[in-house]
Amino acid sequence: MMRLSWAATVILVAITGLVFVLLYGPLFIPIASSFFAASHGDVQWDAPSLEAYRGLAANRSILDAVTNTLIVGFSATLLSLVTGTALAIHYCGGKSAAREAMQFAVFLPFLMPPIITGLSLLIFFRETGIPRSLATVIIGHTVFIQALAYRTIVVRLQTLGPSMVEASTDLGASAWQTLIHIILPNLQSTLIGAGILSFALSFDETLITLLVTGTANTLPIRLWAMMRLGFAPDINALVAVILGLTILLCIVAVRQFLPANPEHQD
């Protein structure tokens, strides 16, 4: 873009540095603490220890919560990719007011504050007599993240254009054959990208989950419950593990999303 003067660069770099401290400080402190012993809720900075990690490995309730979170994350991601693809194919099938209305409805849970999406589902489940459980959490997450999956897939379908599908049907393929052999292969990288993002969103979803969850807790809910009683040092170890996994996920996502050669635009 534009060339900066020396003074402007220094100021901008200083502010950016401050923002990075603000963003990463809250992540760094629990990770650093995880490698030291704790007593009376205070970290003993002179006593390095892996006690927190041993505690984590033995903490059934946290490990159960992690398992639940993974179940919910994978189910919601899969469901939202399936429904997102179906809705996107239907939306791209023509122009009509009904299609626009459908699209608006799909976007609503993403636009509205999560507390409203959560409350609506909570009241709906109560009225229809569906007991709150992991299944209701999965529905809550799917409703929320499908908006994102849907949007990415629509964008991809629109750039693809109708010619390939027309060619396929002209050559005598059935709709299902076209779906399997033409549409899905072309959506592959989009689906992977949307899947990663959906999973990440589901993994940390707290506000909707808190309202629709039953007795089986996901990780954020478990953490929320623990936090009111004070924190166990195991959590610090967990943060370190999750941060490591997230960075791994990011590297995968970067390879997926980043243009192979972004140098052409400066």
> For residues 253 and 266, what is the distance between their CA atoms, to the nearest angstrom?
22
Among 48, 54, 67, 124, binds another protein (CB under 8 A): 124
DSSP line for 176-241: HHHIIIIIHHHHHHHHHHHHHHHHHHHHH--HHHHHH--SS--HHHHHHHHHHT---HHHHHHHHH
> For residues 120 and 78, what is the distance between their CA atoms, to the nearest angstrom?
23
Stretch of 44-52, 53-61, 165-173, 186-194 lying at the interface with another protein (CB under 8 A): 165-173
Closest CB 210 distance from another protein, rounded Å: 8
Closest CB 57 distance from another protein, rounded Å: 19
122 binds another protein (CB under 8 A): yes
Q: Which amino acid is at 133?
A: S
Which residues, numbered 171-200, are part of the site for another protein (CB under 8 A)?
174-176, 178-179, 183, 200
- Length of the chain (residues): 266
CA distances from 138 to 7, 57, 71, 87, 109 (A): 51, 26, 9, 19, 14
Closest CB 58 distance from another protein, rounded Å: 20
CA 7 to chain centre: 39
Nearer to another protein, 12 or 50 (CB): 12
Among 48, 93, 214, 244, binds another protein (CB under 8 A): 93
3 binds another protein (CB under 8 A): yes
Q: Which amino acid is at 185?
A: P
Closest CB 236 distance from another protein, rounded Å: 9
Instruction: Count the residues of the shown chain that bind another protein, applying the rule CB under 8 A.
Output: 91
Among 138, 154, 191, 210, binds another protein (CB under 8 A): 210
Bridge partners of 43?
A: 38
> For residues 192 and 152, what is the distance between their CA atoms, to the nearest angstrom?
11
Convert residues 216-245 into a mask of x (bound to another protein by CB under 8 A) and - (unbound). Answer: ---xx--xx--x---x---x---x--xx--
97 binds another protein (CB under 8 A): no
39 binds another protein (CB under 8 A): no
- Considering just the CA atoms, what is the radius of gyration of the chain in Å? 23
